[in-house]
Structure 1
């Protein structure tokens, strides 16, 4: 199952050239760059102080900054994207579960995507709650699911799906799409970002920015013995440190999101 953030609001079914459905979206595909118990947003300058994270994009450590990312090679394939993305490490019986794929969708869930502007340089944000430790039975919000095959059962504790052969475990992690227009960070790394209201960015969060959605796929069929380095499945969260080259991100926002066009990793129509 592939669910990008650019799903059309109800009633918007415009089409582009040759019948291509118009969705304000582009993406970048990344491979794991490193794995470390670091978090340069939440615990900057404190190596080994965090739970284990899986990092995508440039290599990251506790001293990483947006400026350092811009000067570093990256594992992401969208030209100009040197941003860092990270999530807690998935473990089975205490051992890391290998990644299958990692795609970052940039889109818009707003009624008018032409209002979206690029992220300011150096913006960082966190979504989810590493301290949230609650059960995630089938049907609960914020849970892992099966991509490419059906769910055929649940783990003994009920918190993880069991996927049929041919599929894999996946999780979507979505960030807020409105910004306060002033701060590139906040004490909790969340309060400078906020949700839209009735499909618009307004009030405390008046600036529309791309909606980021991480699609995190694992080489696993789910089942027993799974946990995150941060704890239960409910503690899944994501971190983003913006290090796009401004001209590259600006072009993608203008040509893809503002124009309501579904792109790939570069500006232009993608079926």
Structure 2
């Protein structure tokens, strides 16, 4: 249950401000250097996958493996960055020479292999080489960044001192931070919906698949990185199909067991776990995807998982194709930008206020809510696409209509409720445990990186029942 709003104190002085209150100017390079030395910087690399509009089937497996290699390279470089604070203090060029330069060289070779693989049977993609170089990015408004490189005593908190600065650094040191939270009662209502048209489909179909009572976890991602162990670099909760791992194919899904009450729904629903950073050593505490990559603390099981399929504000819907794959949100939105960030955070009793870039702190008696609305327009041909996004789209936010050439399908709305105490600071400035979503290590556990994944494995009869229910305005299960 909620325990009141987060109390945020001014633990750090503003950038360039010393202990006596005097302010000095600092160059952007120095600010980044200070952030690196304090463990509050991350690595920003251009995402290659969105640039791949066409990948031949013959090259798909090789390209997926190389894309997964790019993710691993960034994770490894980020870990070296975190472990090199002393060297960075002593040598301002260390990060460029020992971390960023080698990372660019590895990415250049990997991107070239991707282009070669595609070029064997299709037009070789042009311009990918420009995506090899990465930059260093301050985490923003946290310990050691331009918003606070020193503590109240004018001292650099330094890397590895997250224990001394719990309000700003999180347990592992890569977040979350106090600035990542906001009191939901201070947020203005902001939810709007497109106006319903005459041909709208207003029904709703609900499937009950539990809350992952079976404790099915892994750090794979069958959509983005099929055939690659730890392709997600963070741990997922799974409900529905119990066969989901990195090596599952359509036949495995079709034959898998399901946690859904209606056995006609063998779909796979999965999302990054939410953790309470309370020092708990989970099963993955020392494993890739878990503690080895900064995803630490007690895994929280949702107290409620609601999976609803709703209609379209301007038209009837058609059946989803079996094995359709959809990703909503962006696990790399902190460095990629917000174009695909749409998962939302709120609190029970306050769901007319939805947040994408902040975690909510909820008043007593209220629980944290994560909501993901999936794309509900389909290109009518493909169950997946090279970048895992082009085959589906969102409706127009004003009219509810699908883009030209796309068909309206039932929209999955996933709602997760967690009974978790809000973090707060005591009189000594120490914080109770933060909660945070699992993520790629360089994404700093930012709330904007929340996302959801779905593989449709409804049988034909139940899918047709869903479509009829929605198109005729009924509420069904």
How many Å separate the matches in 2 of 1:159 and 1:79? 37
| Partner SS state of residue 358, structure 2 | coil
Relative to the length of structure 2, the TM-score reads 0.46
Ranges in structure 1 where 5+ consecutive residues have no aligned partner: 1-6, 14-21, 135-139, 151-157, 266-271
Please point out which of 439, 450, 453 is paired with 1:236: 450
Query: What is the match of residue 10 of structure 1?
Result: 195
Alpha-carbon RMSD: 2.8
Q: Which residue of 1 aligns with 2:384?
A: 185
Q: CA deviation at 1:166?
A: 2.8
Contact preservation (8 Å) 1:132, 1:234: yes
Alpha-carbon shift at residue 8 of structure 1 (Å) = 7.8
Residues of 2 paired with 1:201 and 1:12: CA distance? Answer: 13
Q: 1:253 to 1:45 in 2, by over 3 A?
A: same
> In the TM superposition, what is the alpha-carbon distance from 1:242 to its structure 2 partner?
0.8
Q: Once the 2 structures are TM-superposed, how far is the Cα of residue 239 of structure 1 from its aligned partner?
A: 0.6
Match of 2:331 among 130, 133, 139: 130
Rate the CA distance shift 1:48–1:127 in 2: closer, same or farther, 3 A: same
Tell me by how many angstroms 1:89 deviates.
1.2
Quickly say closer, same or farther: Cα 1:201–1:141, change in 2 above 3 A. Answer: closer
Query: Which structure has the larger Rg?
Result: 2
Aligned counterparts, 1:142-157, within 5 A: 142-148=343-349
Retained in 1: the 8 A contact 2:329–2:342? no
Q: 8 Å contact 2:347–2:362 — kept in the other structure?
A: yes
The superposition leaves residues 176-203 of structure 1 with CA deviations (integer Å, 9 ceiling, x where unpaired) of 1111111110012111001234333341
Separation (CA, whole Å) in 2 of partners of 1:126 and 1:52? 16
Q: Match of 1:253, SS?
A: helix
Alpha-carbon separation, structure 1, partners of 2:255 and 2:404: 36
Distance 1:161 1:195 in 2: 25
Higher relative strand content = 1
Deviations 1:115-150 (A, max 9, x none): x1111111111111000128xxxxx97541111579
Q: For 1:38, which of 216, 220, 244 is the aligned residue?
A: 220
1:247 aligned residue: 461
Mapped contact 1:177–1:193 kept (Cα < 8 A): yes
**What is the rounded CA distance, in whole Å, between the counterparts of 1:125 and 1:49 in structure 2?**
17
Structure 2 segments unaligned to the other structure (5+ residues) = 1-191, 278-295, 336-340, 352-356, 424-432, 440-444
Q: Which residue of 1 aligns with 2:394?
A: 195
Q: Could you tell me which residue of structure 2 aligns to residue 260 of structure 1?
A: 473
CA apart distance, 1:58: 1.9
**Secondary structure, in 3 states, of the residue corresponding to 2:258?**
coil
Shift of 1:164: 2.7
**Secondary structure in 2 aligned to 1:47?**
coil
- 2:170 is matched with none
TM-score (norm 1): 0.78
Q: How many residues align?
A: 237
Higher helix share: 2
- What is the Cα deviation at residue 12 of structure 1? 6.8
Question: Is the 1:110–1:196 contact (alpha carbons within 8 Å) kept by the matching residues of 2?
Answer: no
User: In the aligned structure 2, how far is the partner of 1:10 from the partner of 1:203?
Assistant: 19
CA distance in 2, matches of 1:217, 1:29: 14
Deviation at 1:110, TM superposition (A): 2.4
Matches of 1:240 and 1:176 in 2, distance apart? 11
Structure 2 residue aligned with 1:225, among 399, 413, 434?
434
